């Protein structure tokens, strides 16, 4: 996966792994995978560390799009997260999805422009499935989520330069635990 230059038209290519997980399978519209311990996407904030070892299955898109997936929430360790990522290059990306942090289930988004920032919404119960949807229009990326088929909630709107192509697709990280097994279903990606 290479860094992307300015967008020149509607491009979509077959998905490509950045940091392929130890085990994965795509079958019947469902992706199952096992994360590698220590896998993470993070840049500089708080610890000064730069991590670019998380798992990401990206499809290149060069124009506005909507992407969606459902993540099976599971037993997690601190920092485990699974969901979607939009990546322009190693220093500009957004990852979001179900996460296990601070001892509980939540929905989190990390926006990175050279340094990472993090926003989190605790989930009111232990969900079975968390749905997430990303919409890129112009220079804005809108992040929404729903729990167990419920109502869509706006989590965040973030800046993402419109003139650059992006890779978008499923993502997972396990920064501190032994790794975990997860399932993602109903993956969709369509240009607007």
How would you write the pLDDT of the chain (192 residues) with one tens digit per residue?
544 444 444 555 678 999 999 899 998 889 999 999 999 999 988 788 899 999 999 999 978 999 999 999 777 889 999 999 999 999 999 999 999 988 899 999 999 999 999 999 999 888 999 999 999 999 999 999 999 999 999 999 999 999 988 999 999 999 998 999 999 999 999 999
The alpha helices in the chain, defined as continuous H runs, are: none
CA distance 7 to 61: 9
Contact between residue 93 and residue 86 where contact means Cβ atoms under 8 Å apart: yes
**How far, rounded to the nearest angstrom, does the alpha carbon of residue 13 sit from its chain's CA centroid?**
18
Reading the block at residue 49, the tokens are 């560390």
Phi, psi torsion values for 28, nearest 5 degrees = 55, 35
Contact in structure between 140 and 127 (CB atoms under 8 Å):
no
First to last CA, the chain: 24
Give me the pLDDT at residue 54, please. 97
């Amino acid at each position: 996966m290479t860094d992307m230059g300015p967008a020149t038209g509607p491009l979509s290519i077959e998905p490509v792994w950045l940091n392929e997980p130890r085990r994965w399978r795509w079958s019947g519209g469902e992706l199952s995978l096992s994360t590698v311990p220590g896998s993470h996407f993070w840049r500089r904030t708080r610890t000064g560390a730069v991590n670019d070892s998380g798992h990401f299955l990206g499809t290149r898109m060069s124009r506005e799009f909507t992407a969606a997936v459902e993540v099976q929430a599971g037993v997690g360790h601190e920092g485990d997260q699974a969901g979607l990522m939009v990546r322009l290059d190693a220093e500009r990306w957004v990852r979001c999805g179900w996460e296990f942090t601070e001892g509980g289930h939540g929905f989190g988004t990390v926006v990175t422009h050279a340094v990472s920032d993090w926003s989190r919404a605790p989930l009111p119960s232990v969900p079975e499935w968390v749905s997430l949807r990303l919409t890129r229009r112009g220079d804005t990326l809108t992040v929404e989520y729903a729990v167990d088929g419920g109502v869509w909630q706006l989590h965040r709107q973030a800046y993402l330069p419109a003139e650059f192509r992006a890779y978008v697709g499923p993502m997972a990280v396990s920064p501190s635990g032994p790794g975990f097994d997860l399932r993602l279903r109903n993956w969709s990606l369509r240009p607007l």
